[in-house]
Structures are given as C-alpha cells and as structure tokens.
Amino acid sequence: MLRMSGLVLILAFFPCVLGAQPAQDSKFQQYSLKYGVSVQIPKHWQIIEKRVMDQIDTNTEILTGTPQGNNEILVAANYYGIDLKKASATVRLSVRHKKTIDQSELSSMTNDDVEFEAIVCKSSLKNALRNIDSSILVTEYKMARKKMKSFVCFETVYALNNNERQILYVIPLGVRSIKFHLSYKLAEEHYLKPTIMHIIDSFSVGVK
C-alpha cells in the first residue's frame, strides 16, 4: 500500500495551497504627499498636470473674485468613461495656506455653529455657480462635522442639476486647511461609487 506523509496528505486535500498564486498588483496607486497627506487613486485615472490645474485656479479667481495664490494643489485626477471629452469622476487634493480654526476649535463647535457655517458655505457656493454658469443650480446640500481617522473635518455633500454629485472634505489645521474634493456623474453612480468610496477610505492626514 502506498503511504503518504502527513505533509503530502495535507497538500493532496488542499491543492490550492500548493498552487497559490502571488498577489496581483493593485489597480490603485498610493500617493504620499506633502503635509502628511496620503491617498490611493486608480492607476487608469488621468493625473492632471500642475499647469492645467493652475489655469483652472486662475479662472476660479477671475470668476469668484477669491484670490487663489495661497492654494497649493497636491494631486488631481480625472476618470473618463464613455464620454472621452468630459470627465465622469474627479478627485483633487489641495492645501489652502491661510489662518483657520484648528482641530480643537472645530471639535468644540456647537451644532448651531456648524449649521451656521453650512448656511454661509451654501450661499458662497450659489454665488460662485451664478458667476460661472447661472443655469447650474444646487439641488441638494448637506454639511456636517465628521471624524475621519485621526482628524475632524467638515464634510459637504451636494448635488447639482447638471447630473453631478460633489463631496468635499475640509480639514482646518490652524495655519492651513486641507481640501479633499471628489465628484462623479450621478448617471454612472452604480459603478463609480465603489471606487469613490475606496479613495475616501484610503485618504489620511497626519495631524499632530
């Protein structure tokens, strides 16, 4: 009778162990950026060149009247689906070098304070959109204070009548604020949202 050693017997019943394949490379690229910021972005998304983002900031300053010289873009990327001319989803990380409240002050804000901040920000958004394109309207708007990993932030989620969902995180750090902005077409939400949620989950800031 043919005898099998204990190890051979185990491998005979569990061939998946013997034929295990090495882990495949991730579809996401890890970005470790300045100020302790890190995020994962799909490798097939198109990274936007700094000069292009600088021009967008220039136009933003013209249209909104808000100086953008203290805005530092860390990384920005677009995803193009069926329409190769208009992005179906975007992600952008930037830092505004300006005195702000700090983490402890944000944590100690009352709910009324947060609600007032939401009213002010919603009004500013409407005014900016009016200058850019008066036909674009805010159809949904919600701002809340949220704890994300090691930091506290303002989370703003809103929708526009141009079929877009916008998600904005603002992390005030006293001497600067970090802005994490994502958007995607609502018509493509069913297959874009899992990726958007992964990008959000991968985002971290080393707050000291």
Cβ–Cβ < 8 Å for 46, 78 = yes
CATH numbers and ranges of domains, the chain: 27-205 (3.40.1000.10)
Stretches where the chain sits below pLDDT 50 are 1-23, 208
Buried-exposed string 149-174: b where 16+ CB fall within 10 A, e elsewhere: eebbbbbbebbbeeebbbbbbbbbbe
DSSP category for residue 25: P
CA torsion through residues 204, 75, 166, 29, sign: negative
Q: What is the pLDDT of residues 77-90, one digit of tens each?
A: 999 988 778 899 99
What global pTM score does this model have? 0.83
Those residues with Cβ within 8 angstroms of residue 4's Cβ, 6 or more apart along the chain or in another chain = 12
- CA–CA separation, 131 vs 127, rounded Å? 6
